[in-house]
């Protein structure tokens, strides 16, 4: 789907688990596919239960994997609307207030 010609409501914005869990050929991690609920395309997978071998090896701690040909990234702006949002600049959970959560737009919430 071209990102230039579609509006927000036309985009694939909701994913969920589909199918049965499965295992890789190289380890014993338990995986489950995730797909767009609008178009049905598989967009990646989630590591439901990492195997002990993978947990003990060097890894980045990410358990949600997205297929690069199925998704695209966008730069999101912070609450000021000026600076690109970076993981290192996110506030701790304790710093957030209920008001912060209530001020998030519906579009931002499901992106």
Domain carrying residue 99: 8-109
Asked whether residue 95 is assigned to any structural domain, the reply reads yes
Asked whether residue 1 is assigned to any structural domain, the reply reads no
The Cα-based distances of 34 to 6, 18, 20, 37, 90 in angstroms read 22, 6, 11, 9, 26
Asked whether residue 2 is assigned to any structural domain, the reply reads no
Asked whether residue 61 is assigned to any structural domain, the reply reads yes
| Alpha carbon distance 44, 34 (integer Å) | 5
What's the average model confidence in pLDDT over 8-31? 85
Closest CA to 50 of 32, 68, 34, 70: 32
Asked whether residue 99 is assigned to any structural domain, the reply reads yes
| Alpha carbon distance 18, 16 (integer Å) | 6
pLDDT, averaged across the chain: 78
Asked whether residue 85 is assigned to any structural domain, the reply reads yes
Query: For residue range 66-106, what is the model confidence (pLDDT) as tens digits?
Result: 999 888 888 888 888 898 988 787 777 665 555 555 565 55
């Amino acid at each position: 789907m071209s990102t230039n010609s579609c509006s927000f409501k036309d985009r694939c914005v909701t994913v969920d688990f589909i199918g049965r869990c499965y295992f890789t050929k190289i380890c014993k991690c338990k995986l489950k596919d995730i797909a767009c609920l609008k178009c049905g395309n598989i967009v990646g997978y989630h590591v439901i239960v990492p195997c002990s071998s993978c947990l003990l090896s060097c890894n980045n701690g990410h358990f949600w994997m997205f297929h690069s040909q199925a998704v695209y990234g966008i730069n999101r702006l912070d609450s000021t609307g000026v600076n690109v949002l970076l993981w290192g600049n996110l506030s701790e959970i304790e710093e957030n207030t209920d008001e912060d959560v209530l001020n998030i737009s519906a579009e931002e919430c499901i992106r």
